[in-house]
Amino acid sequence: MVVKKLFCIILLVLSVLACTQKRETAVSEPEPQKDTVYPLGFCTDSFRVVSGKIANGDNFVAWISRLGASQQEAHALAQVCDTVFDVRKMRAGNSWKAYYRDSTQLSYVVYDNSRVQQTVFQLRDSLSVWSCEKTVELIRKSADVTINSSLWNDMVAAGASPDLITEVADIYAWTVDFFGLQKGDRFRILYDERLCEGESIGIERVDYAEFLRDTTCLKAVYYNQGDGGNTYWNEKGESMRKAFLKAPLKFNRISSGFSLHRKHPVYGTVRAHTGVDYAAPTGTPVMSIGDGTVLSAGWGNGGAGNMVKIRHNSVYTTAYLHLSKMAVKAGQRVSQGQVIGYVGMTGTATGPHLDFRVWKNGSPVNPLKLESPPSEPIAPENLPVLDSLCRSYSSAISGISE
């Protein structure tokens, strides 16, 4: 009996010791180490940093050598770049940072290819080159702009990015006459903007927009059907893209309108002006307002200067006069928005401008009153989703604007 009790006590002691050893072993095990990820691929904290910009006429070897590398290292590094970085495409004005170990030994150089893309050159231990990207944030934003002077001035004054102005102009290019904006016209927009280091680097997408004038509200909703076609629609499912653009160039003023009785600025006689003159700097791109075939591209009659004439279908023909140079040839097929020439003052002209003309069934018509037929509507099965998006965005933007 005594032996049995003693045996039990021994087993108990051994069991306690074993548990204690396990606990001690568990405590003494080191925690797994997590890898540290550095944005540039190396820790920048222990280096002296010098920054600057690429100078005019700089080449890669001269630049790297000036920062502290030997001629041999610079040439070898240029060879290492291979497909990672084209040393011939360094741009004057682009920023760089050089990192020095012990204040004098050049270890790394970081070159800004763009506002997001960077190239890192390693001269420490071994020569190496790699690419990296800065962190880009996607921020949901809204804009509510009332026109007082011009779309550009009022958008900028409201703090909107110039890229947003271009996006809005493209969306409404077929439905809003940006040359005829009136004081009190209003744009409300929901969009996503890309930010890098707190600065805008572009608009990701406009999801919803409204153009308001008096009691009229023209809505535009983004919805991609996945067919490679139109992506902006009104609340009825009609495409925002029409057969014709509202104007053949962007953001300029109308210097002379359509008139059957106008005093000619050069000859001084009263004659019909069956087009619209858009004042714009020489070299401003001129676009075809619709798909079509170039009937002629050359010197026109009657003071037209360099002129491109396009047949869009059996009904409509357009002409673009006084061009400084042409970008198409007779017989060429062109698409809507394609650049067909550049503003100039060839022929009879007192200054650089585009004289734009439209014929319907052979008769001249006022380009500013041209009615453009719509493109294909949204697929019927996608209309409920579009309606839901439109209601949701409209409610959201109303809440923000109030």
Q: What CATH number is associated with residue 179?
A: 3.10.450.350
**pLDDT over 70 at 125, yes or no:** yes
Q: Which two tokens stand for residue 3?
A: 């032996």
Domain containing 75: what range?
Answer: 48-133
252/265 Cα distance (integer angstroms): 20
Percent of the chain past pLDDT 90, that is, above it, reads 56
The answer to whether residues 168 and 204 belong to one domain is yes
CA–CA gap between residue 202 and residue 192 (Å, rounded): 9
Do 261 and 347 belong to one domain? yes
Determine the Cα–Cα distance for residues 174 and 8; give it in Å rounded to an integer: 95
> Are 142 and 218 within one domain?
yes
In a domain, 22, yes or no: no
Model confidence pLDDT, tens digit, residues 330-363: 999 999 999 999 999 999 888 899 999 999 888 9
Q: Give yes or no for a contact between 286 and 357, defined as CB atoms under 8 angstroms apart.
A: no
269 and 345 inside one domain = yes
Considering the domain boundaries, does residue 12 fall inside one?
no
> Per-residue pLDDT for 17 more than 70?
no
Residue 127 in any domain: the answer is: yes
Residue 293 lies in a domain: yes
Q: Are residues 212 and 265 in the same domain?
A: no
**Residue after which a domain boundary falls, among 73, 100, 133:** 133
Instruction: List pLDDT tens digits, range 179-191.
Output: 778 999 999 999 9
Confidence of residue 35 (pLDDT cuts 50, 70, 90): low
User: The domain that contains 340 carries what CATH number?
Assistant: 2.70.70.10
Within a domain: residue 397? no
Structural domain count, the chain = 3
pLDDT (tens digit, 9 = 90+) per residue, 172-220?
888 887 877 899 999 999 999 999 988 889 999 999 999 999 999 999 9
223 and 313 part of one domain: no
Q: Three-state DSSP class for 220?
A: strand
Q: Is the model's pLDDT at 270 over the cut of 50?
A: no
Nearest C-alpha neighbor of 323 from the set 308, 301, 309 = 308
> Do 124 and 223 reside in the same domain of the chain?
no
Are both 98 and 161 inside the same structural domain? no
Global pTM reads 0.65
Tell whether 143 and 123 lie within a shared domain.
no
63: three-class secondary structure by DSSP: helix
Do residues 305 and 220 share a domain? no
Which long-range contacts does 44-51 make (Cβ < 8 Å, 24+ apart)? 44/99, 46/101, 47/99, 47/100, 47/101, 47/107, 47/108, 48/99, 48/100, 48/103, 49/97, 49/98, 49/99, 49/100, 50/97, 50/98, 50/100, 51/95, 51/96, 51/97, 51/98
Q: Fill in the amino acid letter for 274.
A: T
**Identity of the residue numbered 277:** D
Mean pLDDT over the full length of the chain: 85
Alpha-carbon distances, residue 10 vs 1, 14, 17, 22, 189 (angstroms):
14, 6, 11, 18, 81
Structure-block tokens of residue 185: 């016209």
Residue 184 lies in a domain: yes
Residue 10 lies in a domain: no
Whether residues 172 and 220 fall in one domain: yes
**Residues 229 and 261 occupy one common structural domain:** no
Within a domain: 304:
yes
Provide the pLDDT for residue 246: 85
